[in-house]
């Protein structure tokens, strides 16, 4: 049945990126990927006369907290360890000193002109070439769901949030031969044969891992569990008031496929109607479609229990900070350093408002690919999810590196 315009919820003007589910936290368990070769410069230096006014629309304390987390990470490395950021190389010691100095300048200089002058003395400003080679970056959002849950199942709370199954095997082909490619594969044993792990349909509809996977909790909405997988982390709230964070632990090894793209290709909604909220509304009003649509994505995520203090962990095992933490392509930007975003974000009524903000590269994602994609973390709960789901705007992304 085609979803008519009368049935459609309020349009958010969103495209497929958010609705498909940004796999931002789902790449967090893999080893640090190789950066692109230095000759593939995907950041271009900005002449001092062309620097934008590096304003900030959030409080200084939240950036200081985000920068402190990056410093905790960078200080774990040998000071001489080199990192390639979009083709530009800096040592861990240089990045530590630069992050410390940036935080000091942003805290001390309220005037934008004076701030720019101070930064220009000590830093180079690098602009992402974007998705078009001229700096156009697609900005989307992600968040941490808050779900009602129970420890034991009943007729209503019957959808499990699984831990990693006991029979799941993860292995890297390159460990067996130098001729084999890098990359983690997932499977399980069948006799003496290693076979692919069950896909989403086998897990959720055929209960294939019910005897091999422990359950953190049970949720009352299968669609919400699916989007918990997409976001990669969520908080489970129990009737007695206790909460547990379900953090990403692994996946079944099947490729991610976009259910948003499926709905577009089937003509069930348009690109203007597309959002995470729109997909949820469609599935809730068409229960007969739930199995077909959800199993279009065979990838399945498993979780671990984490404390609920602070934000969910990004790919560097650092807590994400709402409004400050961003996800980028870790192959290109493999270190948590400070950047600056310009563009727009939706307000509570869904209207675009100007964005000018210092951010920190704390995360990555399977759908965040190339220099023209960035995902902003909005925080926990329904309001954060509403704003994240409405975010699909064009903007600009810059990084600061200390001068040598």
> Is the pLDDT reported for residue 399 higher than 50?
yes
User: Tell me, what's the pLDDT at 230?
Assistant: 87
Per-residue pLDDT at 3: 40
Q: What is the pLDDT of residue 253?
A: 92
Question: To the nearest whole number, what is the mean pLDDT of the chain?
Answer: 87
**What DSSP line would sit under 61-89, residue for residue?**
HHHHHHHHHHHHHHTTS-TT-EEEETTEE
Q: Domains plus CATH for the chain?
A: 1-149+257-300+309-404 (2.40.40.10)
What is the per-residue pLDDT for 41? 83
The whole-number average pLDDT for the span 159-167 is 97
| Residue 31 in this model has a pLDDT that exceeds 60 | no
Q: Residue 243: pLDDT above 60? A: yes
The DSSP code sequence of 211-235 is TT--EEEEES-HHHHHHHHHHSEEE
Percent residues over pLDDT 90 in the chain: 66
What span, in angstroms and rounded, lies between the C-alpha atoms of 58 and 324?
9
- 60-118 pLDDT tens trace: 899 999 999 999 999 999 999 999 888 899 999 999 999 999 999 999 888 999 999 99
Contact between 325 and 374 under an 8 Å Cβ cutoff? The reply is no
What is residue 173's predicted lDDT score, i.e. its pLDDT?
A: 79
pLDDT band at residue 139 using 50, 70 and 90 as cut-offs: very high
pTM of the model: 0.78
Which of 52-74 are b and which e, b meaning 16 or more Cβ less than 10 Å from the residue's Cβ?
A: eebebebeeebbebbbebbeebb
pLDDT band for position 40 (50/70/90)?
A: low
Q: Per-residue pLDDT tens for 335-372? A: 999 999 999 988 877 788 899 999 999 998 767 889 99
Mean pLDDT of 39-66: 90
The better pLDDT of the pair 16, 210 is held by 210
Tell me the per-residue pLDDT of 299-324, one tens digit each, with 9 for 90 and over.
999 999 988 888 888 989 999 999 99
Is residue 160 pLDDT above 90, yes or no?
A: yes
How high is the pLDDT of residue 70? 96
* pLDDT above 70 as % of the chain: 90
Stretch (H or E) spanning 171: strand 169-172
Q: What is the pLDDT of residue 37?
A: 39
Query: What is the pLDDT, as a whole number, of residue 311?
Result: 86
pLDDT at 19 over 50: no
**Distance, CA of 276 to CA of 293 (rounded, Å):** 14
């Amino acid at each position: 049945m085609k979803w008519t315009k009368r049935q459609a919820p309020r349009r958010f003007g969103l495209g497929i990126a958010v609705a498909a589910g940004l796999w931002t936290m789902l790449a967090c368990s893999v080893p640090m990927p190789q950066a692109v070769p230095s000759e593939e410069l995907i950041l271009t230096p900005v002449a001092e006369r062309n620097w934008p006014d590096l304003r900030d629309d959030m409080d200084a304390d939240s950036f200081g907290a985000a920068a402190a987390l990056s410093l905790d990470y960078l200080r774990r490395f040998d000071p001489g360890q080199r990192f390639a950021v979009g083709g530009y190389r800096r040592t861990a010691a240089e990045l530590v000193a630069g992050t410390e100095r940036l935080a000091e300048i942003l805290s001390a200089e309220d005037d934008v002109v004076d701030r720019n002058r101070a930064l220009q003395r000590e830093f180079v400003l690098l602009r992402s070439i974007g998705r078009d080679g001229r700096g156009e970056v697609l900005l989307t959002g992600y968040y941490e769901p808050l779900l009602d849950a129970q420890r034991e199942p009943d007729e209503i709370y019957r959808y499990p949030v699984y831990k990693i199954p006991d029979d799941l095997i993860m292995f890297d082909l390159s460990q067996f031969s130098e001729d084999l490619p890098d990359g983690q594969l997932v499977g399980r044993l069948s006799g003496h044969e290693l076979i692919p792990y069950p896909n989403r349909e086998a897990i959720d509809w055929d209960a294939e891992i019910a005897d091999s996977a422990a359950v953190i909790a049970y949720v009352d909405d299968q669609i919400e569990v699916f989007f918990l997988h997409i976001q990669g982390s969520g908080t489970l709230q129990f009737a007695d008031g206790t909460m547990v964070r379900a953090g990403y632990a692994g996946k079944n090894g099947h490729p991610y496929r976009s259910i948003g793209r499926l709905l577009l290709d089937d003509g069930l909604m348009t690109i203007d109607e597309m959002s995470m909220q729109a997909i949820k509304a469609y599935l809730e009003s068409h229960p007969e479609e739930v199995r077909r649509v959800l199993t279009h994505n065979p990838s399945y995520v498993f979780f671990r229990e984490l404390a609920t203090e602070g934000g969910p962990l990004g790919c560097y095992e650092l807590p994400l900070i709402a409004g400050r933490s961003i996800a980028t392509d870790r192959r290109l930007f493999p270190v948590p350093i400070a950047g600056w975003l310009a563009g727009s974000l939706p307000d509570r009524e869904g209207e675009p408002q100007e964005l000018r903000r210092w951010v920190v590269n704390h995360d990555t994602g399977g759908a965040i690919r190339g220099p023209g994609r960035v995902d902003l973390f909005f925080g926990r709960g329904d309001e954060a999810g509403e704003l994240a789901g409405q975010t699909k705007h064009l903007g600009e992304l810059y990084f600061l590196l200390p001068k040598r």
